[in-house]
Amino acid sequence: MTEQEYRKPIPEPVPETQFYWDKVREHELWIQKCNDCNHVFFYPRLHCPECTSDSVEPMQASGKGILHTYMINQRPPPGWEAEAPYAIAIVQLEEGPRMMSNIVGIENTPENLVLDMPLEVVFDDVLPDVTIPKWKPA
């Protein structure tokens, strides 16, 4: 598939997020940790959101989490029609931070999407140079 054929938004890394997207392309999930206050956080940034220290470093995440909350989208925007209905989910990572993503591997219905259900990260290679982390039931 080419970028012109892929109609969904494509991440555009900036210097602060380039490392994250490079690791996702290698099928690894990385987050950040503050060396001063030990706060673990996601999304990638230059300063700790807890204490504003610039002494932050990447750390590999376990790839495990739980379903914190979700919304089922029945009316998809262009590019998502084939996947509707689909869940827009907030996943609580085992390390603490939360990230927004999609749930795959099961039918996205309220009966199947149970809050606090264990999840594991999977990587969707949507284009040769673009990979998106998603989550499936563990």
Give the tens place of pLDDT for each residue, 14-58.
Answer: 999 999 999 999 999 999 999 999 999 999 999 999 999 999 999
Please state the domain extents for the chain: 18-137
Average pLDDT over residues 80-100: 91
What pLDDT, on the 0 to 100 scale, is given for residue 2? 63
Average pLDDT over residues 111-115: 97
Tokens of 78: 């262009």
Side-chain-facing half-sphere of 26: CA atoms under 13 Å: 9
DSSP annotation of 134 reads E
Residue 115: which pLDDT band, with cuts at 50, 70 and 90?
very high
What pLDDT, on the 0 to 100 scale, is given for residue 75? 86
> Whole-prediction pTM value?
0.90
